[in-house]
Amino acid sequence: MVMTNHQGSSKINPMKNIYKIVFICFVSLNSLAQVPTLKRANKYFANKAYLDAAQMYLALKPTQEILQNLGDCYYFNGQSDQAVKYYEQINPLTKNNVKEDVIIRYANALKGINNIKKADEIMTAFFGKSYNTLNYISELQYTVPFDYEIKSVAKDNVNSGNFGLVFWGNKVVYASYQANSKKTYNWNQKPYLDLYEATLSKEGLLENVKPFSNVINTKTHESNATFTQDGKTMYFSRTNSKRVKVDGEKIATVKIFKAEYVNNEWINVSEVPFSSDTYSVEHPCLSADGKKLYFASDMPGTIGSMDIYYVDVNADGTYGKPQNLGNTVNSISREQFPFISEEGTLYFSSDRYEGLGGLDIFMSKNRNNTFETPINLGSTINSAKDDFAFVLKNKSQEGNFSSNRGEKDDIYSFTRKENEKQYFVEGFIKDKKTKEILPGSKVSLYDENNKLVSSIVVGSDGKYFLNTKPNHKYKVEATKDLYIPSSVDISTDSEGQARFSIEMEIQSFKDKEEVVVEKEDGHVYVELENIYFDFNKWNIKDKASKTLDVLVDLMKKYPTMEVQIGAHTDSKASEEYNMTLSENRAKATVDYIVSKGIESTRLTYKGFGETMPLVNCGDKCTEAEYAKNRRCEFKIIK
């Protein structure tokens, strides 16, 4: 405000000086409030205001801590080049000062700028074992179950960022920020997220886009919705509206909320009880039957920075205790964005080093309520950037995922087909004589050095499936208790034609050998001439040794055969005497067989005394009956 007089002379305006003083004080106080300090920078960092934290750190003298945090600030915002700039200034070999997860992020950032060689060198130097990402990526093309064909679903994504699409009836719901929003999020200085709904065109593009319910969308973030099959219940992520002091810093966690759809309106929006003000629970996903809710969290007990958990959803609307999926699925890195297919396969994203860079999408099959070792989905869907929020459409081979491989987060659709480059051997196990399926058979795959590669016990369908690799020689062996092992040699070629379908037939010992019989008790025995011992003796006589040599030869012929030797007496003496005598005779028999070169681990023995007579005549037996009860039996147990 300037005041003059019409005569051309100026006068002092006291109000003007007051305004100046107030303005100067405001500027000084505001400048003071923004003076960079490590404490203030760390506070921004703890609050995940990464870009604000980075500006503070840049004004400070670099230390190991500051350089690590600067790298993290840019890493978590997908700026790999800037992340590398600061990560590379730390000493990666100073293991006492650098955490493993920081090194993995550094290496992933290097992948993000296509410096895979250096990424492997950093990992190898720090962890002390060899890493070869290019070989890993190359092998994936032969082991991933599907190839993916992808395309962006947005008609115009210039002014927004979209991710986390899910299906809701004949519509889709996803998270988005609009560039014309004035309020921005501290993490990345981008607008806050809301949920939007849309339909998909025949070409799979988003259309008829509009904001989701204003009961769900608030002034904070909403994202990652999941719906029950009937579409009447939803869970979603929402940033906590209040900040809570944790370890001296105020933080805002992410929580999961539930809502119900009644009369075309979303009502009863409530926080789930396992959410917290001190740690985040996010990225909910319901199982197809609605009985389990999977999510990501950094709650106490987490293995890495974020782990995949689940809770049981009870019929009465209550929840079980959060269960960590364990270190088969989770790692020291980030595991997020879980999705469960209708057949129970888990898909999730992780920035573990075993990937192409950033977050990669992995899958883990569920067998007998146990998740198997995760498989990277490969380069037809994953990139050197962040790839996440995978979802399948019902039981089809179509779905969507999100990625920041472009300038910002975007939603992609995919169609997948079976990977024809897979190398494998498959088939059925049958009885050679009856041609019947043999459940419980074991099929093992050995390499050319006879080292076990993998094995499987077949189920009720008798089918086996084993993955192989190109340009390798293998032996496929089928075994089953009381059967003779059978094997087939195979060799994979260099053209990718390595699908072997081999129906293996194995023969039982009793069908192959005349001396092997199945008795009325259902057990299989080696039927030999009776072995006779002198009275009150257990040494092996010459005639008995010739009989036992038949068993020795049989066990040498079949190196996997295992036998239990049972010795029985008549009832002439006391029970205690007969039990001791039978034990001694059984042991003497085993000792003789071992002396002939059979491993003791393949033999067991037991003395039964007079407890299991073939002729139950008590103490009134004829000599012939006594003789029949005195015997050794050789039961095949494997």
CATH number of domain containing 460: 2.60.40.1120
**Counted domains in the chain:** 5
Check residue 59 and give left, alpha or beta (phi > 0: left; psi -120 to 50: alpha). Answer: alpha
Q: Are 175 and 292 part of one and the same domain?
A: yes
Q: Are 386 and 248 part of one and the same domain?
A: yes
The C-alpha angle 373, 376, 378, rounded to 5 degrees, equals: 155
Q: Are 147 and 273 part of one and the same domain?
A: yes
Nearest one of 244, 239, 243 to 257, comparing CA atoms: 239
Write out the two tokens for 64. 């190991």
At 519-560, the pLDDT tens digits run: 888 888 888 888 777 667 788 877 888 889 888 999 999 998
Residue 449, domain extent: 424-508
Q: Is residue 281 part of a domain?
A: yes
329 close to 319: Cβ distance less than 8 angstroms: no
Nearest one of 313, 322, 341 to 279, comparing CA atoms: 322
* pLDDT average, residue stretch 212-218: 94
Interatomic CA distance for residues 242 and 216, integer angstroms: 17
Give the end of a domain, one of 418, 448, 467: 418
Interatomic CA distance for residues 288 and 284, integer angstroms: 13
Give the end of a domain, one of 418, 453, 488: 418
Give the end of a domain, one of 418, 434, 458: 418
C-alpha torsion sign, points 512, 518, 522, 528: negative
What is the torsion angle, in degrees rounded to the nearest 10, for the CA atoms of residue 33, residue 39, residue 40 and residue 46? Answer: -160
Lowest mean per-residue pLDDT among 9-18, 312-321, 498-507: 9-18
Q: Is residue 136 part of a domain?
A: no
Phi–psi pair at 196, nearest 5 degrees: -125, 155
- Look up the CATH number of the domain holding residue 97: 1.25.40.10
Instruction: Report the SS3 class of residue 155.
Output: coil
Q: Are 217 and 295 part of one and the same domain?
A: yes
Q: Is residue 138 part of a domain?
A: no
Nearest one of 129, 92, 135, 130 to 110, comparing CA atoms: 92
376 close to 382: Cβ distance less than 8 angstroms: yes
Scanning the structure block, which residue is given the tokens 């040699």? 489
314 close to 292: Cβ distance less than 8 angstroms: no
Assessment of whether the complete model's pTM goes beyond 0.85:
no
Q: Are 165 and 101 part of one and the same domain?
A: no
Report the amino acid identity of residue 630.
R
Instruction: Report the SS3 class of residue 466.
Output: strand
Q: Are 432 and 390 part of one and the same domain?
A: no
Q: Is residue 365 part of a domain?
A: yes
Q: How many CA atoms lie within 13 A of 275 on its CB side?
A: 20
- Look up the CATH number of the domain holding residue 620: 3.30.1330.60
DSSP structure class, residue 373: P
With a pLDDT cut of 90, the percent of the chain lying above it is: 50
Q: Regarding predicted confidence, which is higher, 150 or 247?
A: 150
Please give the helix or strand (H or E) that residue 80 lies within, else none: helix 80-87
Interatomic CA distance for residues 476 and 466, integer angstroms: 9
Nearest one of 113, 115, 109, 106 to 134, comparing CA atoms: 115
Kindly list the strands in the beta sheet with 387-392, ordered across the sheet, starting from the edge strand earlier in the chain.
146-152, 410-418, 398-403, 387-392
Residue 68 pLDDT exceeds 90: yes
Q: Quote the pLDDT of residue 493.
A: 64
Q: Is residue 137 part of a domain?
A: no
At 384-411, the pLDDT tens digits run: 899 999 999 988 899 999 999 887 889 9
Residue 234 pLDDT exceeds 50: yes
Q: Is residue 78 part of a domain?
A: yes
Interatomic CA distance for residues 364 and 374, integer angstroms: 4
In the predicted model, what is the mean pLDDT of the chain?
Answer: 85
> Counting Cβ atoms within 10 Å, is residue 110 exposed (0-12), middle (13-18) or buried (19+)?
buried
At 169-178, the pLDDT tens digits run: 999 999 997 6
Interatomic CA distance for residues 57 and 70, integer angstroms: 7
Q: Regarding predicted confidence, which is higher, 309 or 472?
A: 309
Q: Are 16 and 57 part of one and the same domain?
A: no
Q: Quote the pLDDT of residue 5.
A: 36
Q: Quote the pLDDT of residue 15.
A: 34
- Cβ contacts of 238 within 8 Å, gap of 6 or more: 218, 220, 221, 222, 254, 255, 256, 257
* pLDDT average, residue stretch 286-315: 97
pLDDT band, residue 416 (cuts 50/70/90): very high
Interatomic CA distance for residues 413 and 409, integer angstroms: 13
Q: Are 442 and 576 part of one and the same domain?
A: no
Give the orientation angle of helix 50-58 with respect to helix 64-75, to 10 degrees: 140
Q: Is residue 389 part of a domain?
A: yes
Buried/exposed 194-215: b ≥16 CB within 10 Å, e otherwise = bbbbbebeeeebbeebeebbee
Other C-beta atoms closer than 10 Å to the C-beta of 301 total: 10
Residue 349 pLDDT exceeds 50: yes
Q: Are 525 and 390 part of one and the same domain?
A: no
Interatomic CA distance for residues 535 and 544, integer angstroms: 15
Q: Are 162 and 70 part of one and the same domain?
A: no
Q: Are 562 and 604 part of one and the same domain?
A: yes
Other C-beta atoms closer than 10 Å to the C-beta of 423 total: 21
Check residue 602 and give left, alpha or beta (phi > 0: left; psi -120 to 50: alpha). Answer: alpha
Nearest one of 96, 102, 137 to 122, comparing CA atoms: 102
Interatomic CA distance for residues 516 and 634, integer angstroms: 10
Residue 94 pLDDT exceeds 90: no
Scanning the structure block, which residue is given the tokens 């509206």? 241
Residue 59 pLDDT exceeds 70: yes
Please give the helix or strand (H or E) that residue 350 lies within, else none: strand 346-350
Q: Are 43 and 167 part of one and the same domain?
A: no
Q: Quote the pLDDT of residue 409.
A: 87
State how far Cα 118 lies from the chain centre.
27
Q: Is residue 385 part of a domain?
A: yes
60 close to 93: Cβ distance less than 8 angstroms: no
Q: Regarding predicted confidence, which is higher, 637 or 23?
A: 637
